[in-house]
């Protein structure tokens, strides 16, 4: 029987998943209340919806502690690499959404686009932080799994030139 471990979601790298889902829900509420749905607003909504779906799947995997069972640490593709790829993807998408919200503030829904732009900027900042954290975790795991070449002390030549 699988137990739910909610503590994993309350520490720093994984708590960002919960906050980005909250921000994405707020973005969907704001953009859904807009009178005119232009194409830029639809792209923002698609990004927020994809963010919610992907993060709910990742939250479920982490809460049920299935990440170690699905992907082993000694493999080429590790869990931090998957997290890194997803956070880089959403960082790029939210960066595009920032510019869509900035350009969308020139139209009739300027208040809605401004507020959604603020929360899009918040999600972009959270995903940048998420990317940096998981890049560091992935790099450290990669370094730990690499074989290191150690030279035994007996094989090091001990040359004495008459100095003490």
Residues 113 and 137: their CA atoms lie apart, in Å, by: 35
Per-chain mean pLDDT for the chain = 83
Nearest to 92 by CA among 64, 51, 57: 51
Nearest to 120 by CA among 104, 101, 106, 107: 101
Q: Which of 12-16, 38-42, 126-130 has the highest mean pLDDT?
A: 126-130
**Alpha helices (H) in 5-108, listed in sequence order:** 12-32, 39-63, 67-70, 79-104
Q: What pLDDT does residue 69 have?
A: 77
Residues 54 and 2: their CA atoms lie apart, in Å, by: 21
The more confidently predicted of residues 81 and 2 is 81
Q: What is the mean pLDDT of residues 6-20?
A: 84
**Dmax over Cα atoms in the chain, in whole Å?**
89
Q: What pLDDT does residue 45 have?
A: 92
Residues 117 and 58: their CA atoms lie apart, in Å, by: 25
The more confidently predicted of residues 78 and 129 is 129
Specify the range with the lowest mean pLDDT, choosing from 5-9, 64-68, 85-89: 5-9
Q: What pLDDT does residue 138 have?
A: 86
Q: Rg for the chain (alpha carbons), in Å?
A: 23
For residue 117, pLDDT beyond 60: yes
* Cα dist from 164 to 30, 156, 159, 160, whole Å: 77, 18, 12, 8
Q: What is the mean pLDDT of residues 146-159?
A: 64
Q: What pLDDT does residue 130 have?
A: 92
CA 52-35-27 angle, 5° bins: 20
Q: What pLDDT does residue 1 have?
A: 53
For residue 6, pLDDT beyond 70: yes
> Model-level pTM?
0.78
């Amino acid at each position: 029987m699988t137990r739910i471990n909610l503590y994993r979601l309350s520490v720093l790298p994984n708590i960002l998943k919960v906050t980005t889902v909250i921000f994405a829900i707020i973005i969907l509420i704001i953009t859904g209340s807009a009178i005119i749905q232009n194409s830029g607003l639809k792209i923002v909504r698609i990004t927020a919806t994809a963010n919610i779906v992907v993060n709910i799947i990742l939250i479920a995997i982490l809460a049920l502690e299935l990440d170690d069972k699905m992907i082993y640490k000694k493999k080429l593709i590790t869990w931090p690499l998957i997290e890194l790829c997803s956070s880089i993807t959403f960082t790029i998408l939210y960066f595009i959404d920032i510019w869509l919200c900035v350009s969308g503030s020139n139209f009739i829904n300027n208040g809605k686009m401004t507020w959604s732009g603020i929360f899009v900027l918040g999600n972009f900042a959270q995903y940048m932080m998420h990317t940096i954290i998981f890049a560091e975790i992935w790099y450290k795991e990669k370094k730990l799994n690499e074989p290191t070449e150690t030279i035994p002390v007996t094989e090091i030549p001990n040359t004495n030139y008459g100095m003490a």
